[in-house]
Amino acid sequence: MDTLLTQLDALVLKPELAPFLSLLKGARNGIVYGSKVRFPHALVFREKAKLVLNATRQHARNLSTFAIVYKASMIILRNINPSGAGKEGRYDSFVAGLLGGYTVFGRQPGSVSQQIVIYVFARVMLSLAKLAVEPNMHPLSPLVTPEARAKIYEHAWPAFASFTWAFVMYIFRWYPDTLVSSLRSSMVYIYADSDHWDSFRNLFIHNK
């Protein structure tokens, strides 16, 4: 057994195999990290259940509070509208959303709040991409043909996903300290650690 391990160690340390083996270790680390992050969610231990309940409570409280602030702001804005009390202004929803976003999410940037805001931001970007090619939205709208509009709708998500990963990988490569620590650590594990090993054991069995 020791002889076999020695031979394997010698094999995985060959410089000409390093690029190929780094791909294998990157895939291995991706599988391990993904499983490590997701699998525990299916195991309802007491401590995990407590964390899930706390996060659920905070999520519910944030959305409930935002609904109150938003709807109250809309009522106030309608009643102070210069065009006539009770009439909704074109940008009332924007102002009310701004007030709610600052009050509920802007002043308390915890992990749950960040997850909600980032999720909503991604959806907003996709919607804006679609709105950008809608008829009569801006001076350049007449230049967008129905065929082009259909193509943009079709490719909006692939483009969004592709550029999201393009930017995050560029930032991770050159400005990793600007990434949130949890994301940075996962990327280090999958993409940086997979470039380093000194034996068969920490190539396939253990990360380090």
Q: Is the pLDDT of residue 206 over 80?
A: no
Q: What pLDDT is recorded for position 121?
A: 94
177 compared with 12, residue with greater pLDDT: 177
The two tokens of residue 121 are 């931001």
Residue type, 124: V
The pLDDT of 82-86, averaged and rounded, is 78
Q: Is the pLDDT of residue 85 over 60?
A: yes
Q: What pLDDT is recorded for position 103?
A: 95
Q: What pLDDT is recorded for position 95?
A: 96
Residue % of the chain over a pLDDT of 90 = 32
Cα distances from 109 to residues 19, 62, 114, 168, in angstroms, run: 40, 11, 6, 21
Give the three-state DSSP class for 81.
coil
Selection from 28, 40, 39, 58 nearest residue 208 by Cα = 28
Residue % of the chain over a pLDDT of 70 = 92
Q: Is the pLDDT of residue 164 over 70?
A: yes
